[in-house]
Structure 1
Amino acid sequence: MPKDTAPAWTPVALSADLPAASVIPARLADAALALWRSAGGTVSAVADRCPHRGMRLSHGFVRGEALSCIYHGWRYAKTGRCLAIPAHPGLTPPEAIRVATYSAAERDGILWVAAGEDAGAPPAHDGFAGLRSITLAATAETLAACLGTPLSDGGLEWSVRETRARLLIAPAAEDGSILLHLLLAADATDAEKVAASRALETLRRTAEAAAVTGEAA
């Protein structure tokens, strides 16, 4: 795995999962997030809770360069500041009305989020492209034991029918599950992508079974 990995960064999604003018739920180990991409392509991450009534902002919608809550339409900028309250169109929202923000970055087809503001650059994965993400009901250690490969900088090197692959692992959620991102060599053929996707499903079943029986511990 690359040695410039910054521990502060968490891989929360693949770039392909977040088209322009859209929002999806994401999470850090201890925080629920709304991950959104503006119409212009900028990726931002905010706490998944509107300050008004607590509605999940990941259920909202993106118009231009702002994220709006689906409940009462309160609109937020990338900085987290409330821009507008539709029920009071003539009101300029006070500076104090804002949603918590997180550092967000995009690199090599991966979307990264960090809790700190000075996280530096996210890890590089040159030569790879994101293929798919899955949720796995097993620990990273169980997954590594199933593959017979040591964990390194939050991920695992893998090979599927001699095609280079890499597995990125997000920290465990409250229910103990992990988010697993499969990266494949950027020059992989369609047939190799299909084979890798199928191998990932097999790996999930193996790891989850081992988590239940404890055989890989």
Structure 2
Amino acid sequence: MRSDTTGFWTPVALSADVLAGTVIPARVSAGIIALWRSQSGQVAASADRCPHRGMSLSHGFVRGEALSCIYHGWSYGQDGRCVRIPAHPGLTPPETIRVTTYAVRESDGIVWVAEGTPASDPPSLAGWIPLRTLTVEADREAIETAAGASADADGLLETTRADARLCLLLSPSQQVRTGMQTVTHVLVADGCLPPVRIAASRSAERLRRRAETAAEKGRLP
């Protein structure tokens, strides 16, 4: 993720959680963005504010290949350009009306958003498959302490609990109103059977609770 000086990739969601024709909020270091997938299956990311009245685009809707604001229906293509203003159906919107967009990559079941201009592709997750995403109310240090292992430069942390082997893909920790928060994607070994997946999910939940306890008390119980 933060592996170079020009930019980095942030893992913002599982591909399976961004369905065609939907938009969801996602978090990068700059704050919340709108992450959406067109009806044809193309994933895109934009700043969360509509330039018209500032409504959150992550509260909007996807129609065809455009993301529309829920307030007045202004629509934006994947390149950020405004393509439709419903109140003026005969108007071709000026090129100057657009939202900021982010480069997006889908790799190994994860949606990555570029912050800046990364010098390389997102890291490979070969051998692992996404299981679920957790929002941990703690910083990366607390998660590492709870897991008894350290994440590498790409945010990957492998750990073996008593009942499961799993890999955590950690997004950069963010300061939010309630404290520090880390979006954590849980990965399991490719080809593992359902009982192993269930055990891994439960193990990740226990690890989350330990990390949050560590963050609250400043130490593990």
Q: What TM-score, normalized by structure 2, do the two folds share?
A: 0.91
- RMSD, aligned CA: 1.7
Which range is displaced more, 108-117 or 44-53? Answer: 108-117
Give, as a single letter, the amino acid of the residue that structure 1 aligns with 2:135.
T
Say whether residues 1:189 and 2:189 are aligned partners: no
SS at match of 1:112: strand
The answer for the alignment partner of 1:68 in structure 2 is 68
Matched with 2:85 is: 85
Q: In the alignment, residue 62 of structure 1 is paired with which amino acid?
A: V
Residues 104, 111 of structure 1: 8 Å contact kept: yes
- 8 A Cα contact 1:163 1:185, kept in partner: no
Q: Tell me how far apart the structure 2 counterparts of residues 118 and 136 of structure 1 sit (CA, whole Å).
A: 26
Q: How far apart are 1:147 and its partner, in Å?
A: 1.6
Cα distance in 2 for partners of 1:144, 1:78 equals 37
Which digits, 9 at most, give the CA deviation of each residue in 1:29-75, with x for residues without a partner? 22210000111111110001100011111111111111111111111
Residues 119-130 of structure 1: matches in 2 within 5 Å?
119-130=119-130
Map 1:14-163 → 2, pairs under 5 A = 14-117=14-117, 119-153=119-153, 154-161=155-162, 163=164
1:119 is displaced (CA, Å) by: 4.7
Q: Work out the CA distance in 2 between the residues paired with 1:158 and 1:75.
A: 44
My pick for the range that moved more, 117-126 or 180-189, is 117-126
Q: Percent identity?
A: 52
- For residue 117 of structure 1, report the CA deviation from its aligned partner: 4.3
User: What is the CA distance between 1:125 and its match in structure 2?
Assistant: 0.2
Partner-residue secondary structure (3-state), 2:207: helix
Structure 2's unaligned 5+ residue stretches are none
User: Could you tell me whether the CA contact under 8 Å between 2:163 and 2:199 is conserved in 1?
Assistant: no
| 1:184-206 CA-partner distances (Å, limit 9, x unpaired) | 11211111111111111111111
Q: Secondary structure at the match of 1:168?
A: strand
Segments of 5+ residues of structure 1 without an aligned counterpart are none
Partner in structure 2 of residue 204 of structure 1: 208
Q: Secondary structure at the match of 1:89?
A: coil
Calculate the TM-score normalised by the size of structure 1: 0.92
Q: CA deviation at 1:150?
A: 1.7
SS of 1:191's equivalent in the other structure is helix
Please tell me whether the aligned partners of residues 20 and 40 of structure 1 are also in contact (alpha carbons under 8 angstroms).
Answer: yes
Partner Cα separation in structure 1 for residue 28 and residue 203 of structure 2? 26
